[in-house]
Chain A
Amino acid sequence: MYEKDGEKYFVVDSHMHFWDASRENWVQGREEYAKGWIDCFYGYHQLGPPETHWDYEHYLKVSPEDLMKDVFEDGHVDKAIFQSTYLKYWYRDGFNTTEQNGSMLEGNPDKFIVNGRFDPRDGEAGLKQLEEDARRWNLKGVKVYTAEWHENGSRGWKLSDKESYRFLEKCRELGIKNVHAHKGPTIWPLNKDAFAVDDIDQAATDFRDLNFIVEHSGIPRIDDFAYIAVQEPNVYAGCSVVLGALMHARPKFFARVMGELLFWVGEDRMTFGSDYNIWTPKWQIEQFVDWQMPDDEAFADYPRLTTATKKKILGLNAAKLYDIEVPAECQLPTTAGETLQPGQELVEDIAGAQA
């Protein structure tokens, strides 16, 4: 929990990792890829405040003790959700597998939620693995990388693929209701479609009972994403990278991106993720609680953030998605009636005018 000016913020870090990018884990003959990947992350790391920068060696792999200190002791986080990323093509034991992440549950069962993953190109074996993982880790969510390379030579897939639907149906059956899709800055995809967000639209329409959290808010395809989110009530904006990469390094861009997300997606469907250990949560939470839309004329038509907005984004929205119990002192007073987001009104007005 984070407390500031008498307000108590329940914090759910809904997108974080416990990775192993150490040299021992680089696949022989593919070291260049393994290094290229973590170097790219290290580039993102530099966008945080200088006093939070780590040296490269530490960045490659942190210890369980480091993580507990960075995230909970210093980092104000109440509940952290691990997003698994495999990348076994160049990390021998995986980058941060469900297994790796799950090891942190031991001794800290109430601190973490472990999310699984699936890749429809794994076929029957993948379905079976998902079932096993769901049982073992009590999965409520999965992370998917539609641009991930595969041993079968494929360089990407879409959530709307027929094979993918078999996995989404399996999620439904297993009680996995949150699908976090990495749709972010364009690194790595080869297939021309791998970066697109339109597959979210179709999947979200066909699986109304699942939630689709678009991590990194689809930047740089934020316009395509926003247009989908405004029309699909089960699509969320994952704000990982949005805070970490922009709030300190590019404050004006941060203000605009926040303004647009608040307008199109709305404060009830935005979730905080520190993306640990790209960045630590502490500075992100503290700066965000202190942050406000600039008074400048250029930002005049963006919504202002209230304390309630910040509480929702930092934890309450994700708590709802994952049925996490929120202490009474951190809850918001119940509001009557759901209001339309301004963006939704605009779209519907136009649709009405054209009809």
Chain B
Amino acid sequence: MSLRDDVWRALGTVLDPELDEPITDLDFVASCTVSGEGVAAVRLRLPTFFCAPNFSFLMVADAHDAVSAVEGVTRAEIVLEDHHASQEINGGVAAAAGFAETFTGEAEADLAELRRYFLEKAVIAGQDRVARPLVDAGAGPDELAELTLGAVPASPALDRLRRRRAALGLRDDDAAPLLVHPDGSRVTSAQVPLHLRRARLTRLGIETNGEFCRSFLKTRYADTAG
């Protein structure tokens, strides 16, 4: 396994916070090279010139942290290209400045709250991904409300949901209930229909946006995108 593979795997842990998908799957990594001295150079690209700077900042900063943490990497150089705030974001991340500091006078707060907002959405949407097949197979509200993570068949969707719950500080162990509110409290049997209806809608919003982004990236980088 080469160092470059390790760096690529580290980039695979970086999510577009709004789309809840790894930047490697989204084709946002334009190039990734590692020099003999262990300097990792990563170029990132986004679907539009006007992609929101707050999400963009999070991705660049997260990529910087993830790549820096790879054993053998001596320095991480993460560069966001073709973006209206490229200069500020690249400079801010390289200087380890926060978002608010990078955009002095323009942004009101750092992005922890924003990250949390999207993680909560991901945890709600993820419940639809896991529960929908069970609903289709005939599971009713009482049964669903009692269901624990350990009782659900293993699937990539379940793994993903556990990771997002852990990131949000919610229980992700086998005995934890599958259906929970964003604050981690159990969804009661009476609340199940509305909860699932909403979870499906949240997932749809995220995934529709993802479709837009993929399509714009393809148009924008028609010559190079796969």
Chain A contact residues, CB within 8 Å of chain B: 32-33, 35-37, 39-40, 42-44, 46-47, 153, 155, 185-193, 195, 218-223, 226-227, 245-246, 249-250, 253, 256-257, 260, 263-264, 297, 343, 346-347, 350, 353-354
**Binding site of B, secondary structure by majority: helix, strand, loop or mixed?**
helix
Q: Tell which of B42-50, B59-67, B157-165 binds the partner.
A: B42-50
Q: Which residue of B lies closest to A241 (CB)?
A: B212
Complex: how many Å from CA A153 to CA B59?
Answer: 24
- Contact between B198 and A220, CB atoms less than 8 A apart: no
A253 CB to nearest chain B CB (Å): 5
Q: Is B201 an interface residue (CB 8 A)?
A: yes
- Contact between A253 and B106, CB atoms less than 8 A apart: no
- Contact between A190 and B205, CB atoms less than 8 A apart: no
Decide: A155 near B194, CB < 8 A? Known: A186-B55, A222-B201.
no
- Contact between A187 and B52, CB atoms less than 8 A apart: yes
Please indicate which of the listed interface residues A39, A186, A343 has the most CB atoms of chain B within 10 Å of its own CB.
Answer: A186
**Given A43-B220, A253-B207, list of 7 further CB < 8 A pairs?**
A33-B49, A33-B84, A43-B47, A186-B18, A186-B55, A189-B52, A192-B54
B111 contact from A46, A192, A193, A297, Cβ within 8 A = A192
- Contact between B50 and A245, CB atoms less than 8 A apart: no
- Contact between A219 and B48, CB atoms less than 8 A apart: no
- Contact between B211 and A250, CB atoms less than 8 A apart: yes
In the A-B complex, list the 5 residue pairs whose CB atoms are closest, starting with the nearest.
A36-B49, A220-B209, A187-B50, A222-B205, A188-B50
Complex: how many Å from CA A193 to CA B106?
Answer: 12
Q: Which residue of B lies closest to A226 (CB)?
A: B201
Which residues of B from 90 to 132 have beta carbons under 8 Å from A? Answer: 103, 105-109, 111, 113-114, 121, 124
Q: Is B202 an interface residue (CB 8 A)?
A: yes
- Contact between B215 and A47, CB atoms less than 8 A apart: yes
Q: Is B193 an interface residue (CB 8 A)?
A: yes
- Contact between B49 and A153, CB atoms less than 8 A apart: no
- Contact between A220 and B215, CB atoms less than 8 A apart: no
B137 CB to nearest chain A CB (Å): 12
B219 contact from A46, A192, A226, Cβ within 8 A = A46
Q: Is B35 an interface residue (CB 8 A)?
A: no
B136 CB to nearest chain A CB (Å): 8
Point out the residues of chain B lying under 8 angstroms from A343, CB to CB: 197
- Contact between A40 and B216, CB atoms less than 8 A apart: yes
- Contact between B109 and A192, CB atoms less than 8 A apart: yes
- Contact between B105 and A195, CB atoms less than 8 A apart: no
Q: Is B154 an interface residue (CB 8 A)?
A: no
Complex: how many Å from CA A226 to CA B198?
Answer: 9
- Contact between B208 and A40, CB atoms less than 8 A apart: no
Decide: A192 near B114, CB < 8 A? Known: A33-B84, A43-B219, A220-B18.
yes
- Contact between B48 and A187, CB atoms less than 8 A apart: yes
Point out the residues of chain B lying under 8 angstroms from A253, CB to CB: 204, 207-208, 211
Q: Which residue of B lies closest to A40 (CB)?
A: B48
Decide: A256 near B204, CB < 8 A? Known: A33-B84, A47-B215, A346-B197.
yes
B22 CB to nearest chain A CB (Å): 18
Q: Is B206 an interface residue (CB 8 A)?
A: yes
Point out the residues of chain A lying under 8 angstroms from B109, CB to CB: 192
Complex: how many Å from CA A253 to CA B124?
Answer: 19
Q: Is B1 an interface residue (CB 8 A)?
A: no
Q: Which residue of A lies closest to B193 (CB)?
A: A346
Decide: A221 near B205, CB < 8 A? Known: A36-B84, A39-B48, A245-B212.
yes
Point out the residues of chain B lying under 8 angstroms from A221, CB to CB: 205
